[in-house]
Each structure stands twice: as C-alpha cells, then as structure tokens.
Amino acid sequence: MVQYICIVIHPGRGADNACPGENQRSSPHDSRRIGSQNGAAMPKREMGEIRLFKSLKRSAKGAAVPHVKATAGLPTVKMPVPEHVVIPMSMHIGAPAEPVVKKGDTVMVGTVIGKAGGFVSANVYSSVSGTVQDIAPLRMVNGAMATAVAIKTDGAQTVDPACVPPVVTDKASLLAAVQACGLVGVGGAGFPTHVKLAANTIDTLLINAAECEPYLTTDCREMLECSDTIISGIAAVMKYCEIPHCIIGIERNKPECIDLLCSLTREMKGVEVKGLPMRYPQGAEKTLIKRVMGRQVPSGGLPADVGVIVDNISTVKAISDAIQKGMPLIERVTTITGEKIKNPGNFIIKIGTSVKDLIDYCGGFTDDDVLVKMGGPMMGFPLNTLEVPMMKGSNGIIAIDTDETKEQPCIKCGRCVDVCPMELSPLYFVKYAKEENWQGMKDMNVMDCVECRCCQYICSSKIPIINSIKAGKNAVRGMK
C-alpha cells in the first residue's frame, strides 16, 4: 500500500517564515501559555511556531564537527616547573575557596592555600614549593573576578608531609578523601567530585571518555598511559559507593583506547565499554546519558535523578591518585595544539602555570594572525591575554586562525533547532534577548542549555547565539 504525504503551503509564507525540519512527526500540542512579552500575548503565528518547535520528535543529533586529533599519537611530556604560578581560589562550581596563606609564607607541593567555602566548593593546594608573592584579585577567562595566590617557586618541589595516603574503608571515608584533595571534574565543568559521589540510589557509574571536542587529546593519552590507575579509580567508586554497574563510553575515533579498556575490564563484574558514534557534544552529561542508556534527565534535573553518576575518565584517574598517594589535585594533562602552534603536544602541567609559559615551551606561534582559546574550538574561551593561569579544568589551549565572518540577519532555517542536543529552539533566544523578554527565555527552558555552541557552529547567518543565551541565563538567575 502506497502512503502519501500532503504538504500544505500557506500563501505569503516565504523562506523567512518557513518551519524547519524534515520527516517530522507531531505530538499533542503543549497547551501552556509560553513566551508572553511585557504582559501581552504573542502573535498567534509566533505562538504556533513555538508550539511546533516544542512538539517536534527528533533525536538529539548534535553537530558533525571535524574530529581533528593531531596530537592523539604524541606521548605526554612533563613540562618543567615554571618560575612562578598564579592559583585562583575559584576553579570550580560553587563557593570560592578562602585563602589561608599570606604574603611571605613558605609553601610546599600539596600545601593547602585555600579552604573550601562550603559543601559545594573545593580546597585549593599549592602546585609548587616556594614563597607566596601576593594575594590579589584576578580576572578569569570568563570575565569574572576571583582572588588568586601568586607563588614564586624555589625549584626544590618539596612535598608537604601532610600528603599521605588516606584510609578508605567505606563511602564516607572515600568522600572525605576526595574532598580533602580538592578534586573536581577535570573534564571542564569543575563540579566538586565529593558532592557528585554523595548521591544515593545510583545504579550506574557512567564514565565519560568521549572527548568529543575537536583538537583535544588529554583523555585519549590518559587512557593509553594510565589505564591501570583509571581502572583502580573506577573499582574504588563502584565498591565504596555501592554502584553495581559501570559503562565506559568512548568515541570510535579512539579504537586503541576501546581495545585496551575492553581487555582490562573483561573480568570486572558489572563493567562494560561502549564505542560511541563520533558526534559533538557527545560528552555533555545529559546527552551521554541519553545516548548510552536511553534515559532522559528531566528539565532542570541532575543525572542522579535518573540513577546515574557521570565522571570524566581523567577524574576517576585523579580519584585513584588521591586514594593511593594522598596527593591533591595540583597538576593535570593538557593539550597544546592548533595549526598556529609550532610544536604541539600533550603535557603534564602544574595548576597555575601561565598560558604564556606553555606557548613559549611549545616554541611559540607560527605567525601573529592567531586566535587563542582556553579549551577546545567549540566551548573554549577566547583569550585576550596569555597572562592567565591554567586551572583544574583546563584541558587544552588551542591556537587557530582568526574568524573574520560577519553576522547576518536570521533566516529562520531552523538548523540550530535541528542540532540542539537539549531539544531547545535557539533562534528564539536571540530574538528574546534583543527584546529583553527574559520570561520568554525562561519559558523556553534556556537554563537547560549546556552552551555547547552547536547552534552557533551550524548557524547559516553566523549569529553569536551563545551571547544571547548567556545574557538570558544571567537575567533568569536574577528573577524573583
């Protein structure tokens, strides 16, 4: 039997008002009133468009970004200790740490220099031995201000005698050990690890080894070079948090990592390795959970709401280091790469090392026409200066060609809607931000946006959509 599809074209609707999407199936309309502006109802056509966008049944595809991984085959190199470091007190989600040292104090490797400012916070430790030069405000790469401790190194790298392996026998002692070492998610988000592990009724530990961001290869090298430590960290979390099941999700562009971890976990009860399609932003928590487990984290919810804890592969490696060595999070692996870097690679760097020191160590830039970002090309922060420190979540520095594209008016092609992994409608965020219609943005679930930049990447008009989203989020947070 042949089935026909009838497409009704409304007179007067040109490309500007076309509804995006192909092979769409509609579901019952959401009857709630959304996006009112200044107390007045929207035009009927606009309300109809929004309802259509909200009713579309589509898979969270994400964007097909180029998977450039030029440094994946380069072994990790330990960078020399810099002459000085600047360590911010806010390198994590939550309350900033409070400095507990003063100018002129002598510190050692692993000395606590900042105490957590609350439960959702993290301790901060010196990554070097030396003398505190200054404690002063520092402008972070995201524009926020934070207190930072500047330390002049003495070259000795004397380890603080307080850094001893903890005694871990149950969940409470594991959380205490993780909290004491200042561990946060090192994949970029910086959420305090002890807070995440404190969740109850968890049935699955989902290890994020997707590393979907182009250029970055830190997780790849950690898996190849520190696989035993990673497995030890996974086993400890499963044992002490009483989590029966673990899934390690790795994108298929890292076959050697998949093979290695498959061989190491073959005899581990409840642990499986899953190869994932290469799609950005596969590593976003909610996207990963949906892709790997088929579970939908509710709007405004957390992975724990669906029985899952998500940890980055390098974070569980840091958990193992904390248990086995008692060493706080004072260093990390980072990728320095891009077509403008003379000698790219993967490096073990001290927290607080300046970006300038890293670039100089790599031989500098190939030319002056360069855009430098902390992080990857999609979610990274553009840098106006190289005199900024590397933090706990700094997984890469890239130096690439500058972007000279110019913004054009939105044509409502709907490509941003199609690629959004959170199933939002980014084109309306730009419109509402211009109108300062913050209630409209709230109603359209702007707070669910993970700022992956898929919408901005795919945008035909090259509109800086993320700027509107960030403005909307800030406004919504300030609403009573």
Residue from 202, 207, 203 nearest 283 by CA: 207
Q: How many CB atoms lie within 10 A of CB 239?
A: 13
pLDDT at 56 over 50: no
> What is the model's pLDDT at position 12?
36
pLDDT at 10 over 60: no
pLDDT of residue 479: 83
* Helix locations, 217-361, DSSP H: 218-225, 227-240, 255-265, 285-293, 313-325, 355-361
324 pLDDT above the threshold of 60 = yes
Is residue 33 predicted with pLDDT exceeding 60?
A: no
Confidence of residue 403 (pLDDT cuts 50, 70, 90): confident
Q: What is the pTM of this model?
A: 0.85
**Cα distance between residue 226 and residue 220, in whole Å:** 10
pLDDT-derived band at 329, boundaries 50, 70, 90: very high
Reply yes or no on whether the pLDDT at 156 is more than 90: yes
**361 and 337 Cβ atoms separated by less than 8 Å:** no
Q: What is the mean pLDDT of residues 305-323?
A: 96
pLDDT tens track for 408-419:
999 999 999 999
Of residues 341 and 65, the one with the higher pLDDT is: 341
φ/ψ bin of 194: left (φ > 0), alpha (ψ from -120 to 50), beta (otherwise): alpha
| Residue 126: both structure tokens together | 């010196």
- pLDDT band at residue 17, thresholds of 50, 70 and 90? very low
Mean pLDDT (whole number) for 2-18? 36
